[in-house]
Amino acid sequence: MPFSVFTQTGKSAMPVDITIQFKNKADNSDYILYNVNNDLKIADFKGRPDMNSNGVGATYSGIQVSMEGKSFNGKMDVNVSMMVYFDKSNSWMKPEGKDERVLNHEQIHFDLTGIYACRMYHAIMNETFNSKNVKQKLRDIQSKYTNELQSQQALYDKQTRHGTIADVQKTWAEKVQQMKSEIDCM
């Protein structure tokens, strides 16, 4: 998580007001930002396929978090910026994977990224910070939800065998659709 330099006068901890904003425009033209209403397309997978992989597709998505803060009048204002992205240049499909089944499987990977970004958002908004602990607490929250997301992505692939077990894939699709309907932060 990139941090800007905070300016703080005095030795006592100041209260912190947190504002979180989700970016609505990517700095990188290879990124598609997450939107619960927009699905990926096969054409979005522009990366070079890993021919050593047994898989027929791969989604590279993530949650980028940055922050900056200023102190004045005995308190600190911290602005947190979050970006949930799909990286077109690193996401790929082999020719035999360019179909709706694989696309639907990969979409859920991106949906999970959006869901965990929203969980991270709520964790930040429900935390109490002061000027002495804000950086570390934000790092800890980001680490926690990034690790949970990675575990969930691995579990999803393991249980569905990368989307090849149709009934388990359908169960995951229904579960993720329900979680998407509860997203209220983007």
Does 73 fall in a domain?
yes
Of 111, 117, 118, 108, nearest to 184 by C-alpha is 118
pTM higher than 0.85 for the full model? yes
- Residue 9 scores a pLDDT above 60: no
Which tens digit of pLDDT belongs to each residue from 18-50?
A: 999 999 999 899 999 999 999 999 999 999 999
pLDDT at 11: 61
Identity at 48, one-letter amino acid code: R
The answer for residues whose C-beta is within 8 angstroms of residue 29's C-beta and 6 or more apart is none
Residue 42 domain-assigned?
A: yes
How many other β-carbons are positioned within 10 Å of the β-carbon of residue 34?
23
Residue 47 φ/ψ region, left for φ over 0, alpha for ψ in the -120 to 50 degree band, beta for the rest: beta
Assigned domain for 48 exists: yes
Q: Per the domain annotation, does 2 fall within a domain?
A: no
Range of the domain at 113: 16-181
124-180 per-position pLDDT tens digit: 999 999 999 999 999 999 999 999 999 999 999 999 999 999 999 999 999 999 999
* Structural domain count of the chain: 1
Phi/psi of residue 131, nearest 5 degrees: -65, -20
- Is the residue at 7 inside a domain? no
Q: Which residues contact 33 (CB under 8 A, 6 or more apart)?
A: 23, 24, 25, 26, 83, 84, 85, 86
Predicted local distance difference test score (pLDDT) of residue 72 = 87
Q: Is position 3 within any domain?
A: no
Residue 99 falls within a domain, yes or no? Answer: yes
